[in-house]
Every structure is written in C-alpha cells, then in structure tokens.
C-alpha cells in the first residue's frame, strides 16, 4: 500500500486593536491571508508565527485553532490549519512572498481575494464561531466537497 503524502500548511487571520485584519498580496495569487508550509520537525504554532513574521514582519500571539481545511485534488493534497491571532508588535513590511501587507476592515478584506479558495478560507475564518470548523475542497474547478462541519465548540465536542 502506498501512503498518501499531504502538505501541511498553516494560515492565519490576524486582528489588531482597531478591529482590522491583515492581508498580504502574493505575487501570483493576489490578496490572501498569510500562510505557508510547516517545515520538517516544526510544530504548527511555531510554523504560523514564523510564516507571519517572514511574510509580514509582524509578531503575533496565536489565540486559537479555528478551522481545518483539506485540499483533496488535484495533487498535491494538503491539510491547512487556520488560526486566529492578534498583532503584538514588529515592523510591517513586504517580502518576496508578499508584494504588499496591509490592514483592512473586515468588509474590505472579504472582497479582496480573487481566488475562490482564498476567499472561502477568509470567509470561514471571519465567522464569529468559537469552535473549530472542518471543510474539504478540490480545485480546477473549485468545489467544496465537505462543507462546514463543526468539530468542536465551546460546549465541547460536536462530531467524532
């Protein structure tokens, strides 16, 4: 039996004291949340803080895991962990992976991502739910195959 290989990715919705959210403009994908691959031997929280720092220059405090996304097809498949965090410091600046870095109101932010995957991921993370949501999708064309299954809520486990 061949074992499937999945990329492990972290993504982060970052808020500031003004109630704004941080987006980056990727050279190919346009506006999106800071995100990136988890490196070999790296835990998820270290990875999300590193990716945010590399792409934006800022420091964050991770508040919680908010969503898990599964990219099923086409290969390579991926598991994406979506976190909520708050800005704690650092100098905001672009990088090779982010042509621009900017704060937006939630209403502005939701209109900016062009790619449906990035738009949906942002929409899920902007929801006021306090639990963890699961969603699976394919691309080419983009299609949600398992939508918004709550895995956990403040009241405890929802689905097993």
Look over the chain and give the mean of its residue pLDDT values, rounded to a whole number: 90
Q: What is the pLDDT of residue 157?
A: 47
In eight-state DSSP terms, residue 146 is E
Could you tell me the pTM of the whole model?
A: 0.90
Please compute the mean of the pLDDT values over residues 88-108 and round it to a whole number: 95
pLDDT at residue 29 greater than cutoff 80 = yes
Q: What is the pLDDT of residue 150?
A: 67
- Domains recognised in the chain with CATH numbers: 6-154 (3.90.79.10)
Q: What is the pLDDT of residue 74?
A: 81
In eight-state DSSP terms, residue 17 is T
Collect all residues with Cβ–Cβ distance below 8 Å to 2 and sequence separation of at least 6: none
């Amino acid at each position: 039996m061949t074992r499937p290989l999945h990329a492990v990715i972290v993504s982060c919705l970052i808020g500031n004291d003004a109630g704004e959210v941080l987006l980056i403009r990727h050279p190919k994908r346009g506006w999106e949340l800071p995100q990136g691959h988890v490196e070999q031997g790296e835990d998820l929280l270290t990875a999300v803080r590193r990716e945010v720092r590399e792409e934006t220059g800022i420091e964050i405090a991770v508040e919680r895991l908010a969503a898990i996304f599964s990219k099923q097809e086409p290969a390579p498949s991926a598991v994406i962990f979506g976190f909520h965090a708050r800005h704690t410091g650092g100098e905001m600046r672009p990088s090779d992976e982010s042509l621009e870095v900017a704060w937006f109101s939630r209403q502005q932010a939701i209109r900016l991502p062009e790619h449906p995957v990035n738009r949906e991921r942002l929409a899920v993370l902007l929801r006021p739910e306090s639990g963890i949501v699961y969603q699976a999708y394919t691309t080419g064309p983009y299609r949600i195959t398992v939508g918004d299954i709550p895995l956990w809520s403040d009241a405890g486990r929802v689905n097993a």
